[in-house]
Amino acid sequence: MKNIVYFDLETQKSAGEVGGWGQISRMGMSIGVTYSTARGRYEIYTESDVDALIRDLQRADLVVGFNILRFDYEVLHGYTALDLRQLPTLDLLVSLQEHLQHRPSLDALVSATFGVEKTAEGMQALEWYKQGRLLEIAEYCCYDVKLTRMLHEYGREHGHVYYRNRLGRTIRIPVSW
């Protein structure tokens, strides 16, 4: 059985707090979450578990996420000398951005495809971190991993996903995942 690992993380600091988007590796991970198809369950990682998270990603036949090449892997590069971009990776954002010619949000995709919305946003997770509310971050991050997994599986099965554009129109986007 192919081990697909769905992955997302949240950070301790914003881009503004570390000197801009060129310093993503300085943001620090607050919580990371994976879902492994081989294990059939979610794993939650705190910053002290970051090495185990990286090993989990290395064991994957495919890592799937949303904006993981430009963001999540860059955050993890603050903890490892490994170039995580060399892992077999499907970044759904990159795939969909090529078709749409702009960066769609995960929320706009899952809302149009499934009629559900994200439970929070990254800026809220930063506030939770400052308040020591790691459980809320873990729940939010697990839900984002679930939405990413649902979107990937739907696209694989149906050959398309849906996107609600800024004008409120629902567009069918062909995918070959």
- Interval 1-13: pLDDT, tens: 799 999 999 999 9
Identify the sign of the CA torsion 4, 137, 15, 165: positive
Q: For the chain, what are the domain ranges?
A: 4-174
Distance CA 149, CA 90 (A): 11
What's the confidence (pLDDT) of residue 115?
Answer: 87
Contacts of 145 (CB under 8 A, 6+ apart): 6, 7, 8, 33, 34, 35, 42
Residue 120 confidence (pLDDT): 67
Please give the Cα distance from 127 to 129 (Å, whole number): 5
pTM, two decimal places: 0.92
Largest CA distance in the chain: 44
| Secondary structure of residue 147 in the 3-state scheme | helix
SS3 65: strand
**DSSP annotation of 88:** -
φ/ψ (deg, to 5) at 87: -70, 150
Confidence (pLDDT) at 119: 65
Per-residue confidence (pLDDT) for residue 123, from 0 to 100: 82
Residue 38 DSSP label: T
pLDDT attached to residue 167: 86
The tens digit of pLDDT for each residue in 113-165 reads: 998 876 667 788 999 999 999 999 999 999 999 999 999 999 999 999 999 88
Q: What pLDDT does 84 receive?
A: 97
pLDDT at 165: 83
Query: Tell me: the pLDDT tens digits for 15-46?
Result: 999 999 999 999 999 999 999 999 999 999 99
For residue range 49-108, list pLDDT tens digits in order: 999 999 999 999 999 999 999 999 999 999 999 999 999 999 999 999 988 888 999 998
Domain 4-174 falls in which CATH fold? Nucleotidyltransferase; domain 5 (3.30.420)
CB atoms inside a 10 Å sphere around CB 114? 14
User: If pLDDT is split at 50, 70 and 90, which confidence band does 166 have?
Assistant: confident
21: left (phi over 0), alpha (psi -120 to 50) or beta: alpha
